[in-house]
Amino acid sequence: MFDRKALKELEKRRKEWENSNYIPLKERNPEIREEFENLSWTRIAPLYTPMDIGDKDYLKDISFPGEYPYLRGIHSTMYRGKIWTMRQFAGFGTAEETNERYKYLLAHGETGLSVAFDYPTLYGYDTDHPLARGEFGKCGVAISSLRDMEILFKDIPVDRITTSMTINGPAPVVWAFYIANADNQGIPRTKLGGTIQNDVLKEYIAQKSFIFPPAPSMRLTVDTFEFGYKEVPRWNTISISGYHIREAGSTAVQELAFTLADGFAYVKAAMERGLEIDRFAPRLSFFFNAHNDFFEEIAKYRAARRIWARGMKELGAKKPRSLFMRFHTQTAGVSLTAQQPEINIVRVAIQALAAVLGGTQSLHTNSMDEALALPSEKAVRIALRTQQIIAEETGVTSTVDPLGGSYYLEWLTDRMEEEAMRYFDRIEQFGGVIPAIEKGFFQREIAEASYRFQRELEEGKRTMVGVNKYVMEENLDIPLLEMDRKGEEIQLNRLKKLRAERDQTKADRALERLRRAAEGDENTMPYILDCVHAYNTLGETCGVLREVFGEYKEPLIF
């Protein structure tokens, strides 16, 4: 775009600017910081010019929104055509309590539901399992059976609103609960829209709520891909998640690289099964974190779209939708502070704005009290209002990709892509994602990044307002949510009643058919649905798969 003569003149002018402005500033203020780094420890220059993006061809490399490689967004009109889905992650206690929270959120303008499950559910256990003791409903809603799912979505039109479910190890079973609930209401599966997270690879890397070993887990994931495009075509059968990788302590570059590496691993696994890439790829989706470094986050989303589009094209995808990286974003839970919790509202607003300027399709904004408790109604309403203010008052939706072409942003996007590609090469040296997991590569990289950040925080090299700077003594005066202690008793009684009332012969036969399918090579989803329709519980259904596949025990890595 720029000839050599123009670039040479530009370099001269930049040096003149530094000599007349930046260098005198440092001379007047010797204590001023000379080096600035973002959260991935990338050094940031005081000024960026066209020189930093070289002879980039804007028409070819940056192009237009809705055009390959989708750097500027996957949709040509973006938020002028449709505002992102406002999807607040919610769930606690019983299905009844969470159903009330969903109706509250919908009444206040939420446009999509997002289900948080408690830890027993995430691990595929019923509430009455010995390992579930003391964990009922604390970090999400307890769902042990189809009966619970029926209550969770009572009087909510699942054919007219999309639902995201953050569930991984037992994702096929929980998805089957949702489908069976619609079946029983006479709602065609073709009308169901939503997402199951279903990302088991990141469980081994970061969140650790895995159940089965990697190979059978990948089989179950591919089963959902195949069943989804045949039976539930509007459903996203995976949400490949960088969010939990970032929450575990990774850098933005690691989040970008590890998430996309997982994504390509799923695609290759499905293709090895014999699935056509253009049949399942349009229903793959992603889930990213929105952290504190504003421009780094925006660059991350832009780089992710471009890497994914080019990589999928190399794998043989031909349909434009197969090249789209559609993603949900959640603001960074790990950035929230228990100290001065009201200032979390400011953090969340800035993080949410970065997600919007980065082109997200769906967004959750964290509540100010989440470092202390499950969100109260007031806190979650403020979080939702934050999205609504960004959408309707700031003007950022008026034009598509307003930051596109920024010298700094384009340089940073290129830099993050280069760093991600280097990580891809390192992962391939292990033989792929699963061997790298088994060798502890991802875990070590995240642990080292997390340790480095924490050390810098404690040494004062990084600032966290209210924690190591601008600290104050305060009395907590925000209302916190208190859970009903009777919830667990209600859930236990419901499970006992369900087992007493169901057709036990039908339930047992369904479980036995699932066992035979799991021992063979058939798609397990139809058999899981039969188990669910027979009112087998989550624990019973996952129990059969545990017996066939075994449970994964993470190796000790030093």
- Looking at the whole model, is its pTM more than 0.75? yes
pLDDT of residue 478: 81
Report CA 105 to chain centroid distance, whole Å.
20
pLDDT of residue 35: 81
Backbone dihedral region for residue 173 (phi beyond 0: left; psi -120 to 50: alpha; all else: beta): alpha
Q: Residue 334, class by beta-carbon neighbours within 10 Å (0-12 exposed, 13-18 middle, 19+ buried)? A: middle
For the chain, give the longest Cα–Cα distance: 86
In degrees and rounded to multiples of 5, residue 89 shows phi and psi of -65, 120
User: What pLDDT digit, counting tens, does each position of 229-259 carry?
Assistant: 999 999 999 999 999 999 999 999 999 999 9
Tally the C-alpha atoms within 13 A of residue 120's C-alpha that lie toward its C-beta: 27
Reduced to 3 states (helix: H, G, I; strand: E, B; else coil), residue 485 is: coil
C-alpha closest to that of 156 among 178, 137, 174, 125: 178
In degrees and rounded to multiples of 5, residue 290 shows phi and psi of -120, 105
* Long-range contacts, stretch 539-542, CB < 8 angstroms, 24+ apart: 539/124, 539/125, 539/126, 539/129, 539/144, 540/126, 540/507, 540/511, 541/170, 541/173, 541/511, 541/514, 542/124, 542/125, 542/169, 542/170, 542/173, 542/211
Which residue's entry shows tokens 């403020």?
Answer: 382
Domain boundaries, given as residue ranges, for the chain:
4-59, 60-458
Q: How far apart are CA 72 and CA 67, in angstroms?
A: 8
Q: Please list the rounded mean pLDDT of every run of 10 residues in the chain (558 residues).
A: 74 86 82 84 89 69 89 95 95 96 97 97 97 94 98 97 97 98 98 98 96 98 98 98 98 98 98 98 98 98 98 98 98 96 97 98 97 93 98 96 94 97 98 96 96 96 95 81 87 98 98 98 98 98 98 80
Q: Dihedral (C-alpha) 245, 164, 349, 416: value to the nearest 10 degrees? A: 40
The fold of the 60-458 domain, in CATH, is TIM Barrel (3.20.20)
C-alpha closest to that of 380 among 19, 187, 107, 159: 107
Q: Contact at 8 Å (CB) between 490 and 527? A: no
Share of the chain above pLDDT 70, in %: 98
